[in-house]
Structure 1
Amino acid sequence: MENTTWVANHTGQSYFDLVGLFSQSKHPTLLCVVIFVVFLMALSGNTILILLIHCDVHLHNPMYFFITQLSLMDVMSISVTVPKMLMNQVMGVNKISAPECGTQMFLYLTLVGSEVFLLAAMAYNRYVAICHPLRYPVLMNHRVCLLLVSSSWFLGSVDGFMLTPITMTFPFCRSREIHHFFCEVPAVIKLSCSDTSLYETLMYLCCVLMLLIPVSIISSSYSFILFTIHRMNSAEGRKKAFATCSSHMMVVILFYGTAIYTYMLPTSYHTPKKDMIVSVFYTILTPVLNPLIFSLRNKDVTKVLKKMLNVESIIQETMK
């Protein structure tokens, strides 16, 4: 009888219940509106930044090429999780099918993994630009930039292809309630009734390796950058270099800090509520903050934006 029940639970249900943010909120409707507004801000902010960089020839350089890729990843990552969450809340349904869950997990892992390596590539680009300015056009030519970006996407997809199939093939014979607002690996794996300790150890080692290599590159790059800035004779040059690097470091700290909490800290530090709050930060808030950090603190981008707004106002005046 018990065996029959186990088989029914394992094979008969092809869906999960996402018990996420709204079930924890006293005002779910207000929270839904806030998240929808933030989602629109993330989409519009990143899209505008991509268009500005694409349309102005002065922004066609490696740094802005990497920023374009970062904005693209942010748009895609927030689109993977938030629309499904909002749709479930509006329709009053919390279910997600197993294929949808697997697809969401794969896309999210791929995008987060790609961003981890892209931020390292951006740090290396800043290192070459500041520490080796005369050799910069050769060391960071268009071919090298394409190779770095392609490698970031490829390594991110390896992460997705490696973790998603293993996670989704575990037997889920316990409650089908995922205490999260999307199908994140740590939240889904808790539902398995088999021993997942070996897999969790391997996943931990994989995440450590994935984070350790980029963090080493970023730390080394910024150590050399700070040393070079300190030796600069020009106060204006020091100010410009520091402003550019500080923007990038803000993004790195926001992204890597939350990723380290989610995938590297022991389970004793985790609770479903804490995990959701941290996930909100790097899944929903980071895509909103990134374009603000790179545009408001960047004179080149604000100059292009003002120029485009002036052109639009002139066109509107002539049409009246």
Structure 2
Amino acid sequence: MTDASGYKILIVDDHAHNLYTLRTLIEKHLHSASVLEASSGREAIDITLEHRDIDLIILDVQMPEMDGFQTASLLKLRKRTRDIPIIFLTAAFKSEEFQQRGFAVGAVDYLLKPIDDNLLINKISTYFRLIAKERALNVALEEKVAERTRELEQARQYLENIVRYMGEALLVLDAEGLIKQANPAACAMLDYPEQDLIGLSIGDVFEEEGDEEAGAFMGTWLEALIRTGALAKIEARFIAKDGSRVPILFSRTAVKDEAGTISEIICIAKDMSGYVRVDDEAAYRARDAGSRETVS
């Protein structure tokens, strides 16, 4: 006796005696299998709509109004029932032509009446084993997908934390130089909430030294990005919301798609307020030294 708990079989035959014989045979050899009965093709279709967990259908071919071939064809049309294995049983259609017709409409087996009890039970047991393997594979696949999803979520959270807590300002631009993302450091440096920065042109909040019209640099900037993919750090200024200038050390990198076209531009800026430029400091020391010599 095979333990078939958790499996559900639909048997379809227009003769009550045949249904009783099939049920008795299945329940005797396949312990705990759940058996549903239908006396017509139409009733079988209605049962599959009500029960969404049918594992196997044993279907008589010769039935009035809607025969087994027509019933199988309708079951295969529906997404929810098209993958349920169907075993045809017949006493009348024994020719190879009819058997091929059965396979053509989606049957997985075609058995002749009178039923060979052992053959039928072995067939059913085989399909149950195949279903069990498929379910086990699906569970393993779902576990792998869930594990990969967790890993990706952890990686995403890790990167978000880096962006959120990094001390440098981060701006992500589209290929036209419009801001599409800003981290908290950038928002604080510019004194804008992120939603107000989104959609602004980089030229609205940035100017290079000696460039009074900040938006004008986009042409040469993009040209250099396309040529090299990145630019070295430059000294520049952020234009804060109140119009004040914040000295920054600024770098920008192009992100390209598979075709080599720029899709995004990543900008990182370090606030240089309070820092003294090396050349200015050297000039100051030279002037200070000259002053001391004069006094001497």
Normalising TM by the smaller chain, what interval? under 0.3
TM-score normalised by length of structure 2: 0.25
Max radius of gyration: which structure?
Answer: 2
TM-score normalised by length of structure 1: 0.23
The structure carrying a bigger strand percent of its residues is: 2
The structure carrying a bigger helix percent of its residues is: 1
